[in-house]
Amino acid sequence: MPNNVVGHSILLLLVVALFSCGGPTTESDRSTYETGKDFPVYGGNKAGNRYSPLNQIDKNNVNDLEVAWMYNATKPIDPNDPDSRWTRQIQCQPIVVDEVLYGTTPELYLFALNAGTGEELWKFDNVNDDVNVSRGVAYWEKGKDRRILYTVGSKLYAVNANNGKQISDFGENGTADLHEGLSTNRKGDTDSLSVRATSPGVIYKNTFVIGSSVSESGDAAPGHIRAFDVITGKLKWVFHTVPHPGEPRYETWPKDAYKEVGGANSWAGMVLDEKRGEVYFGTGSPASDFYGGNREGRNLFGNCIIALDAETGELKWYYQTVYHDVWDRDLPIPPNLTTIEQNGKRLDVVVQTTKDGLVYVLDRNTGESVFPVEERAVPVKGLPGEVLWPVQKFPLKPAPFSRQIYTEDDISDISPESAAFTKEAFLKYDTDNKFTPPSKEGSLLFGYSGGAEWGGNAIDPDGILYQNANDNPWILQMIDSTSRNKELASLSYGNALYVNNCASCHGPDRKGSGTEFPDLSEIGERLTKGQVSDILKMGVGRMPSFRKLSQKERDGIVDFLFDPGSGRSKSRIVGEYGNQTLKDTHKNFGFEPAYLIKLWQKFSDQDGYPGLKPPWGTLNAIDLNSGEYLWRVRLGEYPELTEKGIPVTGTESYGGPLVTAGGLVFIAGTKDERIRAFDKNTGETVWEYQLPAGGFATPITYEVNGKQFIAIAVGGERGQKPGGNYIAFALPN
């Protein structure tokens, strides 16, 4: 693969950055598009490029970077309150407007800092809802009215950016409810369902457009896209991702599917073309994730790249990436808007990467693919009642940036023990097709917590895409609901509740599957009962709220986790929970899937390393003009393996890249807790710094008083130690 990226002038950088987003509307927008002084939008600009024209820090001086300031975002520990020691991660990519940095703490308090010194200006901590993660905030201004819009659980807050005070006339007492607009003709009550937003929305004029994160089981809330008025907080429009009668593509579902099917939500974030007045986003799979026997058809608008009129919600076009998804292949990152050269002409495009390592490059006018895409026959023999779609899409260019199927060549080679362990699984599970249907026997698949992840990607004005990738296979095995009900009836009260609500992620043995689903077998050594009860009620990270359960049911799970021999009672209460059916637990909303997850865990070797031959994580540079790769390098390492003489393996990464006119790609997110800078032309590592904890977030860059800064949230965890800081780097004075 060629190593050199075509050079470009500063003028070209400025022109493309300006026009690829349709032009500025505020002073903050102008400073970003023209100079990069601010970083006022999640993703850097409204096109989501994660690109900056700043070039003070370059390949020649990046090794001189030093810590300029550090901000402790954690809540002080109360020595008399053990619950105050509970730590959460930070995934926030902060923004900078007029030399003020805005971000969120692990508890989702909103704060403002002097971006040059890290000095706290104010903090907003009047939040009272489910605590999830926040990947960013949105900024709006009109004259002296300057607002930050951000979400905590199911609440959308409007906060005065000048002083950190809640804007009381927004919505109801300063908040809007993300359940609003979901219940129309819906069977049952949606207000008690888990609805959150981990990624910020986008703002077009006075319209705030946002997606949501919902449950992925049969009781999932609808994943409709909503728009709220920035000033009043009132709902402006709703786009139904599961169409209602009379709406486009209603026929791709069974009759009245919208009354009970949820999901098809946009949880990863959005981008905006202000010139066109259009918002672009990707959606996830309809519920439930791995069984669709109740939703025969293509299931539009699940698994789609979609363009809507930002002011009205009118559908402009859509492009479906997976038909009738039963593999949980959500579109996991916001799209990226750029301009490439095709047949001697400049073409505005939408770029979307996927969990299974694919790159879709679509004409922004029509939604048609710029590069060839084949539809190929795939297996259709699924679980009873399942009607699978007979073909799926396979883009021919660019080539996938992560593995598609697990072959014998993928058996781990880091040790004889690892080779033997992984070969056993290879022989045990079905691995021969990336669209192998879920089964009771089990399959080994890529395309979940792999390929692209929520941190996003970066594109420079030459049309070069920089994408980090994970290679992680997962084991999926299903169980029928009748067998599950019999299993529940044989268990104690707390154990049955755990199996029905938690075991699909954390395993029946409570051992989890690594960073995504932590080990709960010794949870009492890390958390108190009160903390676990709060997590069940409010949710945390990717885990949804279980507010749908009664307090007694949540207490039963907590008691079981802390004393598996009891599960609420010292005796086994046969039938107290098990004589209920799964349908009873849905309380008249959603549906009872005929098949549920029995085993869903990351495939690791006997020592917990990814269960396949390295690389396990890479950083890739792809020329979107030609569809060809410029370079690919391994991203991250396990130092203990390197010390044994094993070549650098790469690790999974969570958090995306930032590319600058200084010729650098900055990225953290790896398990070795480092932030690195790569030469964007060659992929060579030119700087790295050992962070105090994992930087599982995407870095930003900005300028204050003529000095360029690189900043990142260092929240830690994901199986590593906790953090809780924001750190900014700069060159010495």
In the chain the domains, ranked by start, together with CATH numbers, are: 1-120+623-733 (no CATH), 477-602 (1.10.760.10)
The residues, any chain, with a CB within 8 Å of residue 690's CB and separated by 6 or more, are 673, 674
Q: Which of 162-176, 229-243, 481-495 has the lowest mean pLDDT?
A: 481-495
Beta bridge partners of residue 271, listed in sequence order: 280
- C-beta atoms surrounding 708 within 10 Å: 22
User: Above 60 in pLDDT, residue 6?
Assistant: no
Counting beta carbons within 10 angstroms of the beta carbon of residue 665, is it exposed (0 to 12), middle (13 to 18) or buried (19 or more)? buried
In this prediction, residues 79-88 reach a mean pLDDT of 62
Q: What is the pLDDT of residue 223?
A: 95
User: Which of 11, 9, 20 minimizes the C-alpha distance to 459?
Assistant: 20
d(Cα 37, Cα 52) in Å, to the nearest integer? 9
- Structure tokens given for 395: 């883009």
Mean pLDDT of the chain: 88
User: Above 70 in pLDDT, residue 582?
Assistant: no
Confidence of residue 276 (pLDDT cuts 50, 70, 90): very high
Q: Which of 81-90, 311-320, 528-537 has the lowest mean pLDDT?
A: 81-90
- Structure tokens given for 537: 């009620």
What's the pTM?
Answer: 0.89
Q: Could you tell me which residue, 622 or 553, shows the higher pLDDT?
A: 622
Q: What is the pLDDT of residue 448?
A: 84
Confidence of residue 28 (pLDDT cuts 50, 70, 90): very low
Dihedral angle, C-alpha 262, 214, 507, 718, nearest 10 ° = 150
The 474-480 sheet, strands edge to edge: 443-445, 474-480, 595-602
Identify whether the C-beta of residue 293 lies closer than 8 Å to the C-beta of residue 594: yes
Q: Could you tell me which residue, 43 or 719, shows the higher pLDDT?
A: 43
Q: What is the pLDDT of residue 484?
A: 83
- Structure tokens given for 53: 């024209």
Q: What is the pLDDT of residue 40?
A: 97
Identify whether the C-beta of residue 265 lies closer than 8 Å to the C-beta of residue 285: no
Q: What is the pLDDT of residue 548?
A: 65
d(Cα 289, Cα 284) in Å, to the nearest integer? 9
Beta bridge partners of residue 477, listed in sequence order: 599
- Condensed to tens digits (0 to 9), the pLDDT of residues 535-566 reads 776 666 556 667 667 778 888 888 888 888 76
Q: Which of 57-71, 444-458, 501-515, 591-605 has the lowest mean pLDDT?
A: 501-515
Q: Which helix (H) or strand (E) holds 305?
A: strand 304-309
- Structure tokens given for 538: 């409010």
CA distances from 299 to 143, 237, 443, 546, 578 (A): 44, 22, 23, 27, 33
d(Cα 111, Cα 71) in Å, to the nearest integer? 11
User: Above 60 in pLDDT, residue 415?
Assistant: yes
% of the chain surpassing 70 pLDDT: 87
